[in-house]
Amino acid sequence: MKILIVSTNYSPEITGIGKYSGEMATWLASEGNQVKVICAPPYYPEWKINENYSSWKYSKEIRDNLSVIRCPIWVPEKVSGCKRIIHLASFAIASFPVVFKQIFWHPDIVICIEPPIFNSVGALMTTKLCNAKSILHIQDFEINAAFDLGIIKSKRLKKTIFRFEKFLLKRFTKVSSISRSMMQLLNKKGVPASKQVMFPNWVDTQFISPREYSTYRRRLSIDHDKVVAMYSGNMGEKQGLDIIINAARNLPDITFVMCGSGSALSRLKAASTTLNNIIWLPLQPYENLCDFLNLADIHLLPQQAGAADLVMPSKLTGMLSSGTAVVATADVGTEIHNVIKDKGLAVKPGNTSEFISAIRHLADNPDLRATFGTNARIYAESFLNYESIMKKFYVELEAMLVKQRHTHNIAPKT
């Protein structure tokens, strides 16, 4: 089949949405499908265009047996609510003619990745003109998160955007998302169960697995008996990473590793200048990811209050697959809290004392850490396996086309 994917973020980004869009497209192409991806040049999570790409030029490349068309995007040096909207809209506008032109390629299925919702307009128009099927895959309820976290505060704008979102959601053949709580939010947004598809994020459990020793201890000169608490991923405002700085200040005997980049990085570093138990690192090469994740005795997953059911952090899959205990901030009943149960400790978002106590408790109890780590690994193997999840999603794609051909009584395309 011919599959068109519209995703602002894409490979070679190694974290967040770009990672999953890239791996999805690669898998679909490996099954013999014709896959075309329309995306932006890589910029995340550094919020800086990769030196091998241009932010203002259109380009085309062949990667992993599929076609990739990159469209211009404006990337602000400092991210704010208003700038983020302009940033996302810039790609939607620049990519629109390229997406629209795909009517001549005549895709069978158009997959649009959210965020941002802006990309939906071009994807839906192309779908309609090609008589194709469409899927909106929601990795992050960006609109809800933006208002709930106070990134955007205008009530008038909120009402307008939610109306726009509802209008678009109705017009996709299917709407998929990555967690049960996010599927429940689709119910509240009026998406009927018959149109919903559960499509969780995954992890390559063969590549990322538990190891007894990480070479990073030697590289970073960390004693073998030192407890390491680690955060690795995007360092944005919605992660609520200040709580880790406060924990490091109160737990001087524990080594904290902060790996990644993002809009809050400079501020966080400035807040920790007096601390000597934090190691700051850039994102590590993907080929080193298993070794790096196994550096941690405790993985840290803070989130601001209100975010735990609007997003499902992509970094969590690797944490669990590495067989390491996790300390997260999430309210009881949220998706993250339910996943973390028996694999680590979850405390209330923003509660620094509880967060510190949870880290202290796991640091002092290696047997409990081991039990949580074993449970995490079992969960990853059972529910997060890359190949298994992609095969289930592919069945959904095939079923959509079978239904279309039956409805219109037409033969399959060749």
Query: Who's near 139: CB < 8 A, 6+ residues apart?
Result: 17, 20, 113, 114, 115, 177, 178, 201, 311, 314
Question: Which of 151-160, 270-279, 338-347 has the least mean pLDDT?
Answer: 151-160
30 in Cβ contact with 65 (< 8 Å) = yes
Residue 312 above 70 pLDDT?
A: no
Give residue-wise pLDDT tens across range 217-257. Answer: 999 999 999 999 999 988 877 678 999 999 999 999 999 99
pLDDT of 84 reads 83
Q: Do residue 393 and residue 379 come from a single domain?
A: no
Do 228 and 198 reside in the same domain of the chain? Answer: no
| 233 and 372 in a common domain | yes
Residue 164 lies in a domain: yes
pLDDT greater than 60 at residue 406: no
Cα separations in angstroms, 24 against 33, 111, 212, 353, 391: 12, 11, 31, 40, 11
Verify that 128 and 271 share a domain, yes or no: no
Higher pLDDT, 150 or 388: 388
Q: How far apart are CA 52 and CA 50, in angstroms?
A: 5
Residues 6+ apart with CB under 8 A from 403: none
Domain check: are 265 and 364 in the same one?
Answer: yes
How would residue 159 be classed by pLDDT, with cut points 50, 70 and 90?
A: confident
For residue 326, what are the domain limits? Answer: 216-383
Q: With pLDDT > 90 as the criterion, what percentage of the chain qualifies?
A: 73
Share of the chain above pLDDT 70, in %: 93
Over range 325-352, report the average pLDDT: 92
Q: Does 371 lie in the same domain as 300?
A: yes
Domain match, 279 and 227 both: yes
Mean pLDDT of the chain: 91
Least confident of 14-18, 76-80, 111-115, 176-180: 76-80
pLDDT of residue 414: 42
Name the residue type at position 294.
N
The answer to whether residue 233 sits within a structural domain is: yes
Q: What CA–CA distance (Å, rounded) separates 147 from 315? A: 23
Residue 350 included in any domain: yes
Query: What kind and span of H or E run contains 82?
Result: helix 81-101
Judge whether residue 412 has pLDDT over 70. no
- Contact of 228 with 222, CB cutoff 8 Å: yes
**Do both 62 and 187 map to the same domain?**
yes
Number of CB atoms found within 10 A of residue 406's CB = 9
* CA distances in angstroms from 143 to 148, 149, 157, 224, 261, listed in the order given: 9, 10, 11, 44, 23
Measure the CA–CA gap between 146 and 156, rounded to whole angstroms: 14
Indicate if 371 and 394 belong to the same structural domain: no
Answer yes or no: is 413 within a domain.
no
From the list 85, 19, 9, 22, the residue with the least C-alpha distance to 49 is 9
- The CA distance from 144 to 186, in Å, is 12
Alpha-carbon distances of 303 from 272, 308, 330, 355, rounded to whole Å: 19, 7, 7, 12
pLDDT-derived band at 303, boundaries 50, 70, 90:
confident
How much is the pLDDT for 306?
59
Local confidence band at 146 (pLDDT 50, 70, 90 cut-offs): low
User: Which residues, listed in sequence order, are joined to residue 298 by a DSSP beta bridge?
Assistant: 229, 325
The partner residues of 6 in beta bridges, in order of sequence, read 38, 112
pLDDT at 152 over 70: no
- Maximum alpha-carbon separation in the chain: 71
Same domain, residue pair 196 and 332 = no
Question: What pLDDT sits at residue 141?
Answer: 84
The Cα–Cα gap between 4 and 36 comes to 5
The 10s digit of each residue's pLDDT in 362-402 is 999 999 999 999 999 999 999 999 999 999 999 999 999 88
Mean pLDDT across 123-145? 91
Residue 19 within a domain: yes
Q: How far apart are the first and last CA of the chain?
A: 8
> What is residue 117's three-state secondary structure?
helix
Statement: residue 213 has pLDDT above 50: yes
CATH, residue 179: 3.40.50.2000
In a domain, 308, yes or no: yes
Instruction: Identify whether residues 33 and 173 lie together within a single domain.
Output: yes
* Assigned domain for 210 exists: no
The label of the residue with tokens 């969780």 reads 200
What is the count of structural domains for the chain? 2
- 262 sits in the region (left: phi over 0; alpha: psi -120 to 50; else beta) called left
Q: How many CB atoms lie within 10 A of CB 277?
A: 16
Mean pLDDT across 333-342: 89
Same domain membership, residue 153 and residue 274: no
Other CB atoms within a 10 A radius of the CB of residue 388 amount to 14
Q: Is the pLDDT of residue 210 over 60?
A: yes
pLDDT at 262: 83
> What does the pLDDT read at residue 404?
62
Whether 207 maps to a domain, the answer reads no
